[in-house]
Amino acid sequence: MFKTNRTVESMSYKQKALLVAGIFLCMELGLMVSMEFSIALPSIITDIGGAEFYALIFTVNLAVSAIVTPFVGKLSDIYGRRQILIIGILIILVSEVITPLLVSNVYHLMIFRGIQGIGGATTAVVALIVISDIFDIENRAKFLGFYGSLNALTAIIAPTVGGIFVQYFSWHWVFYSIAPVGLIGLIIILKLMPNIPKVERAKMDYLGASILSVSILSLVGLTSFGSPTVTPVLLVVLAVSLVAFIIRQKKSADPLIPLRLFKHRIFTICILASMACMFAATGMIYFLPLFLQNIHGFSPTETGIFMTERGITSFIFAAISGFIVAKLKDFKLVAIVAMCIFASMIFVLTFFTVSAPTIIITAIFLVWGSSSGVLISIFHTGIQMNLPTKEISVAMSVMQLAVSMGALLATSLLGMFVQTENLSQGFSYLLYTCLAVVIVTLVAFVIVVPKKKQVVAPIPAELEKSIPES
């Protein structure tokens, strides 16, 4: 299962495209359940209890993903892309199938969502690395556009399916429903995934990874359980662990996150922009269904339809954006337009925090969709178009870490607004926070990214080996 004689050079373009399709299907395992789960969670909590842990349930999944993400790229360098990808798929597939069978309280639910975070992070990181392994720069932009469309397609299908299952059947089917999709993707990968050469002399920086994990956990504790007694201790732990991690990365011969990457301005701003946009998007995706159902009185099915409408425009514009970037060979304009649309949508939504006609909510979700699919992939595209090929593996791990941290901070920080007595007022605060984050990011992005991108051509293997690491 883990070994094959197939090589990248022996694959036709159609085989590569089919392989990516299979990988995307397996990524659906995590994406589909997360989207359906956000619709289903109010009903799950009603069934098993634990309303006080509403935001923490999301946080656990994202915290585990953030901790695992930096390991994944390096593990795929050491043991091979094929092996690590298949392991990640099996983890998430098996855990999602057995979750409804074993979950009887909120603590069980958090444990299984944590396990699913391991599989989801592993699959997502390796999948993005594989795209850079098998395609040239132009085709990377196209397929990363399709990656945004994948998220959009999920947004079309998952909310409605999740709403129907919850309202007419049982929340258990939220987990069962994606198994066939994952199995089809796994079969394609087993048949077509090539044996991509391992990176010579690659080693895991376990000490650095442990220190980074302490930093992430202290940040989660700070944003989720802060109190006058605990907060000062967590702040000290966070500060010390971050300093220790930076020192470790400087001294390590094979660092987990090479600090040299941050010398690339585009890499740095793409990382920060991805984190910020994911922060705002996660706040909207995870908590908007709660407000729509509890404030506006919409049913789970109606909420799912709104999310589906968002997914339709997201699917269309994400796919188009990949071809636009490939043609222009510049990702900046597409990213700016998408962020402007996203900010405009949030601003308009601030006028409807108590009640709104269905037609208005529909229009807002359609506009939102035209930016959401693009923002999922555009910063990945920017990095893959501007960094040398040898840096892509670790860069994608750092990017996914940024995505996970953005979502993690959203569930923990924005989760405070869910706990207010006046839910409508809490919704207003959530929107203004997300809007401020997107606007600041937009301004910084415009200032930092140069007007005309310089495309970095793939470096020949024999020349690449001669380039020093620092």
454: number of Cβ within 10 Å = 10
Predicted confidence at residue 452, as pLDDT, reads 56
Predicted confidence at residue 138, as pLDDT, reads 65
Task: Determine the average pLDDT of the residues in 359-385.
Answer: 82
The answer to whether residues 271 and 402 touch, using CB atoms and an 8 Å cutoff, is yes
The answer to whether residues 378 and 151 touch, using CB atoms and an 8 Å cutoff, is no
- pLDDT higher than threshold 80 for residue 287: no
Task: Determine the average pLDDT of the residues in 238-249.
Answer: 90
Sorted by sequence, the CB contacts under 8 Å of residue 468 that are 6+ apart come out as none
Predicted confidence at residue 190, as pLDDT, reads 85
The answer to whether residues 11 and 193 touch, using CB atoms and an 8 Å cutoff, is no
pTM of the model: 0.70
- pLDDT higher than threshold 60 for residue 469: no
How far is Cα 318 from Cα 81, in angstroms, rounded to an integer? 26
Predicted confidence at residue 460, as pLDDT, reads 44
- pLDDT higher than threshold 50 for residue 285: yes
Residue whose pair of structure tokens reads 């990017």 in the numeric block: 399
Polymer length of the chain: 470
The answer to whether residues 198 and 332 touch, using CB atoms and an 8 Å cutoff, is no
Task: Determine the average pLDDT of the residues in 63-78.
Answer: 80
Long-range contacts of 350-356 (CB under 8 A, 24+ apart): 350/428, 350/431, 350/432, 350/435, 353/295, 353/424, 353/425, 353/427, 353/428, 353/431, 354/295, 354/424, 355/295, 355/296, 356/296
- pLDDT higher than threshold 80 for residue 29: no
How far is Cα 174 from Cα 169, in angstroms, rounded to an integer? 10
Burial of 385 (0-12, 13-18, 19+ CB in 10 A): buried
The answer to whether residues 335 and 381 touch, using CB atoms and an 8 Å cutoff, is no
For the chain, percent of residues with pLDDT exceeding 90: 4
The answer to whether residues 122 and 30 touch, using CB atoms and an 8 Å cutoff, is no
- pLDDT higher than threshold 90 for residue 439: yes
The answer to whether residues 59 and 282 touch, using CB atoms and an 8 Å cutoff, is no
Identify which has the larger pLDDT, 450 or 108.
108
- Give the pLDDT band (50/70/90) at residue 120: confident
Q: Of 1.10.1060.10, 1.20.1250.20, 1.25.40.20, 3.10.105.10, which CATH number belongs to 13-196+256-457?
A: 1.20.1250.20
Residue whose pair of structure tokens reads 């997502």 in the numeric block: 124
Of 266, 283, 267, 263, residue with least CA distance to 398: 267
- pLDDT higher than threshold 80 for residue 463: no
Instruction: Extract the tokens encoding 446.
Output: 């415009």
How far is Cα 382 from Cα 137, in angstroms, rounded to an integer? 11
Predicted confidence at residue 155, as pLDDT, reads 65
- Measured at the CA of 274, the angle between CA 262 and CA 278, to 5 degrees, comes to 145
Question: What does pLDDT average to over the chain?
Answer: 78
- pLDDT higher than threshold 90 for residue 310: no
CA-atom Rg of the chain in angstroms: 21
Instruction: Extract the tokens encoding 200.
Output: 């010579």
- Measured at the CA of 240, the angle between CA 239 and CA 244, to 5 degrees, comes to 120
How far is Cα 174 from Cα 37, in angstroms, rounded to an integer? 7
How far is Cα 470 from Cα 172, in angstroms, rounded to an integer? 51
How far is Cα 431 from Cα 420, in angstroms, rounded to an integer? 14
How far is Cα 380 from Cα 128, in angstroms, rounded to an integer? 9
> pLDDT tens digit string along 180-231?
888 888 888 888 887 776 666 667 778 888 888 888 888 877 766 656 677 7
The answer to whether residues 358 and 300 touch, using CB atoms and an 8 Å cutoff, is no
